[in-house]
Amino acid sequence: MAKQAWANLAIDAIRSGGSEVPTASDLNQMKEEHNNAGMAIWLGNLLDVIPESFVIGTVMLSIVAAKSATGMTLGFWDVMPLTLVGALFLSNFPEALSASVNMKSQGFSTSKIIFLWSVLTVICAVGAAFGAYVGESIPHSAMIVVEGIAAGAMLTMIGSAMLPEAAHLSTPNMAGFSTLVGFVSAVGFKLFE
């Protein structure tokens, strides 16, 4: 009986087109609901970059301390945590692209968009310098909390802004597949460490 009821629903949906076609005002309302996604993603990145940059600074400090203890002469590439920076780039770059495209469609000028991302870059540099400066005096348990805050901020922003926007602008399967590819790539960076 359930099979027949399902078949009848499917046949009715085919005959009627499934549902009513949205009106122009319905489409405008749906567009307005997603109108501030670019700034929401930027603000999420702002919340994420503060603890994230602090972690970059402390990781660089620990690499410098470990390699200096061996008496090794250090260069820039010797102390740069490439896998960490690569994984962070891989996770933040798509967010920045998505937010920038959305800001552009909202009418932001290119110079304003570049200015907003430049502000985040400066905040990241200051946070990394601060992390390297005070990182030695911070207990390991506090660093775990900072790393957890960074991960939580990223997950919050992805869950509240990025995924709904991706599902709205593309097919759900493509959004899910892209999320999986990004996650596997980030894990791959960690495995190369």
What is the average pLDDT across 150-161? 75
pLDDT of residue 120: 92
pLDDT tens digits along 23-53? 667 656 766 665 677 787 888 888 888 888 8
Tokens encoding 62: 């620990």
125's CB contacts (< 8 A; 6+ apart) are 53
Residue from 144, 146, 95, 143 nearest 120 by CA: 95
Q: How far apart are CA 56 and CA 174, in angstroms?
A: 31
Does residue 18 surpass a pLDDT of 60? Answer: no
Residue 23 within any structural domain of the chain: no
pLDDT of residue 31: 61
For the ranges 110-114, 125-129, 170-174, 178-182, which has the lowest average pLDDT? Answer: 170-174
Residue 164's CB is within 10 A of a number of other CB atoms, namely 16
Does residue 192 surpass a pLDDT of 80? Answer: no
Residue 47 within any structural domain of the chain: yes
Domain housing 110: 36-191
Top-confidence range, 64-73, 96-105, 116-125, 171-180: 116-125
Does residue 107 surpass a pLDDT of 70? Answer: yes
Residue 109 within any structural domain of the chain: yes
Residue 11 within any structural domain of the chain: no
Top-confidence range, 23-27, 50-54, 107-111, 140-144: 107-111
What is the average pLDDT across 98-108? 85
**Buried/exposed code over 53-86 (b: 16+ C-beta within 10 A; e: otherwise):** bbbbbbbbbbbeeeeeeeeeeeeeeebebebbeb
Does residue 110 surpass a pLDDT of 90? Answer: yes
What is the average pLDDT across 122-128? 91
pTM beyond 0.85: the answer is no
Residue 15 within any structural domain of the chain: no
pLDDT of residue 126: 94
Pair 91, 150: CB distance under 8 Å: no
Q: How many domains does the chain have?
A: 1
Residue 104 within any structural domain of the chain: yes
Residue 4 within any structural domain of the chain: no
pLDDT of residue 75: 80
Mean pLDDT value across the chain: 78
Residue 16 within any structural domain of the chain: no
Sequence-ordered strand ranges (E) for the chain: none
pLDDT of residue 109: 93
Q: How far apart are CA 36 and CA 40, in angstroms?
A: 6
What is the average pLDDT across 164-181? 76
